[in-house]
Structure 1
Amino acid sequence: MKIGLVGLGRMGEAIAQRLVETGCQIVAFDRDLDRCKAVKSSTIDIATNARTVAESSDIVISIVSDDDGVRSLFLGSDGFLQTDIAGKLFIEMSTIRPMTSVQLAATVVERRAGLIDAPVLGSVPSVRKGSLLALVGGSTPHVDQSRQVLGRLTRKIMHLGGSGSGNALKLAVNLTMAAYLQSIAEALALGRRYDLSIDTMLEVLSEAPTANPWLASKLNVLKGGSADITLDVQTLRKDVMCAVAAGALAGVPMPGGAGVLSALSAAVAHGWGSRDLGELPRFFREFTLQGEPDEQDRSRDGPLLEVDDGAAR
């Protein structure tokens, strides 16, 4: 089976390798030529643009960074729609606004082809094991057609409804992750001001009723260690921005989301956008608190805030 793939970032590259390992022939494209060179092999051909990928494949996966990038893939001068796409299926795995998928799906259907939105839960290790969870929106025949490809990448495919429903749930999931991350940032900052160590607080949080697998996976980076980037701060900011925008369009107020977006935007503005999202709590302690900055990483002795009879002074 020959599959088209556009987008060779961390997830796209892992998807390409997984599909090859499961017997697929891939034709791929990315605007970054270095990424193309890194994956080119006897089983992965490199195309010169998105249009060529569509011409060479019956099923095309795309996974890029944002709505503008997705629209360009379909509508650009060298995009998918610049060739005959009748009978082809497009699997859009990017995390984007629901309305973008709704609009593009209508255009693709007019050209006698299919488009489903299929963002996934999981990161590169999940791709390699074929254990992603696909959140899929689109028509039942197109979703059924996609299973021959998505089944190689996932442990479960959830068909949620019409176009855009997969995007809506992915944004909802990432919004809750961002809100949880912000609560961890604030909790650790509060504890530090009362002379609690980061390690102690994380030990307790890991055994609290609110503990979850995400927290367990991020303990090392939350403690100041290094970790493979699963999702960077800038991308999470984009996802929360999409969620807030989708909420505004649907009449859903999102004061919490707006607050998290403000914190993420501050981190991006300070040059932390390319860092793993697990580093956001450290940014919060170092750059946003009133008074003295957090000193734990500098081996400060003594409490950060004196306490007398239960009152801080």
Structure 2
Amino acid sequence: MKLPYIITDKILKLVTSISEKIGEINANHLYKPTTELRKKNRIKTIQSSLEIEGNTLTEEQITALLDNKRIIAPVKDILEVQNAIEVYHDLKRFNSNKIKDLEFAHSILMKDLIKNAGKFRTTNVGIVKGSKVEHLAPGGTMVKGLMNDLFSYLKNDKDLILIKSCVFHYEFEFIHPFVDGNGRMGRLWQTLILMQQYPVFEYLPVESLIKENQQKYYNKLSESDKLGQSTPFIEFMLAIIFESLNQLLQSQNINLSTKDRIFLFKEKIGSEKFSRKDYLQNFKNISAPTASRDLKWGVDENVLVKSGEQRLTEYRFI
């Protein structure tokens, strides 16, 4: 089944630019952030995605909940965050191509927030913004068939995963398969679709940029509705993805500490011997003296063992 959208020049340019950024991230071994950064990005993702839906909790409050500390906030908001923490804790448990996994994820995300969490709606719904109906979703009797078609597209269509993830996100919001929680589920599932091919997306807080462009996000959903195709939304989401990757490259290359670099390189090189030159090729934005200081730190901390002298110096992780 081919869903309605057009591959425009803008989409092709964005896909090319995103692919280049992913290549750069992989070359610099930045696709798996340090533990502290992973936690920080996960918190940003949860806070942003829920704030779009009206949740009031701050990043500091979500951090406290992650650390099992008590906070003062509306019970519903706390529950939304706790559920989101549980879903995002191990995204790899879900298969993006399985409807049952989507229903299971929704049952966790909306646990104790709505009746029939994890079950597709059978009633008719409309999305109201202010005093007008913004979107009249397909009838409840159509939901199951439309979702089967959508997952068939996801599994079988030959288009690039970058494009398919955006199409899925739009079509999911259009179908509005659950009574509530569709916005956060659509964003979550696009992340899952992307990360199963590109690991960098597991901890990339794309949602924080969507939040910053929240009105445009809704406008592009609405524009696509009116056009009867997801093209405007695909262009918007690809631009958001590109900017998220760009920010990752800028911030992570700058903010990595000596310890961060050493342990990132350990994951890449394993137990193989390497030279300072090898280390520099992996972190192209640092100077030779900085590389020498990093490696000295590794030796002093008994993380690395050093052999040879001057140009013949080699290192190996213990």
Give the TM interval when normalised to the shorter protein: 0.3 to 0.5
Q: TM-score, normalised by structure 1?
A: 0.32
Determine which structure has greater relative contact order: mean sequence separation of CA pairs < 8 Å that are 6+ residues apart, divided by chain length: 2
TM-score normalized by structure 2?
0.32
